Amino acid sequence: MRPLETFIEQRKERFVRNSLMSDEFLDFVNKNMKPIEKQMSYYQCAIMEVETKFKVLNEQYSLEYDRNPIEDIKSRVKSMESLIKKIRKKDIPLTLSSIEENIHDIAGVRVICSFLDDIYMLADCLLSQDDITLLEKKDYIKNPKPGGYRSLHLIVSVPIFLQDGKRNMTVEVQLRTIAMDFWASLEHKLRYKKDIPADKAKYLEDEMLACAQISADLDMRMQNIRDVIAENTTPDERPLLLKELS
């Protein structure tokens, strides 16, 4: 290694040891990270509250109608890296109050449903509960995004009960069918492929849009099939039939 490069490396190592590895810097990180980690734990608690509500609804339908409208429930708290990118994109102050006020998808719950009707039924059941407050609703099923994305998004406020009292937290709830979730998962993976030629990128964009329409048609046809069968089922047969269709 040449003398200049050796000198630069030595200065870098000295800076890291004296600054980034100093007790003062570590104390600064711990002091500022603890409030963020505490806030993230609150979001995790809010997720558990919302998940429990959906699991109770699913159990109730299982007992009363012998079917489960929910296929799966997924959840996540936004990673620190994603959160920082969102803060930078929105150009908001780096404070807990500003983050909580301006970023509403830090806590996310995704509910995968069997049929289209189940999405709106579960959304209505959730919003009818007296401790849930609807802050925002975006229906990308009735009004899909230009690229074909479909889902029902609800931003809700839910209380969590802590040692020192109650705290309201914001959670984003997404409700989709199995077909919608399959399409969205593939679209998410393909979105980050950066080395695709422009002509093929346009082809893939058109194909994904076509697949989104096929997916929507499938959801509608499956919903119609269930409705027709249910209309032609006697009351005694209906519980067994609903179990088979769920």
d(C-alpha 39, C-alpha 169), whole Å: 10
Q: Which residues pair with 123 in a beta bridge?
A: none
**Nearest CA among 165, 174, 201 for reference residue 42:** 165
Specify whether the CB–CB gap between 159 and 168 falls below 8 A: yes
From 81, 136, 172, 231, active-site residue? 172
Q: Taking the CB of residue 190, how many other CB atoms lie within 10 A of it?
A: 14
The residues, any chain, with a CB within 8 Å of residue 67's CB and separated by 6 or more, are 61, 242, 243, 245, 246
d(C-alpha 42, C-alpha 106), whole Å: 11
Specify whether the CB–CB gap between 183 and 217 falls below 8 A: no
Specify whether the CB–CB gap between 118 and 219 falls below 8 A: no
**Nearest CA among 219, 116, 221 for reference residue 229:** 221
Specify whether the CB–CB gap between 43 and 169 falls below 8 A: yes
d(C-alpha 68, C-alpha 243), whole Å: 8
Residue 172 annotated among the catalytic residues of the structure? yes
Q: Active-site positions?
A: 172
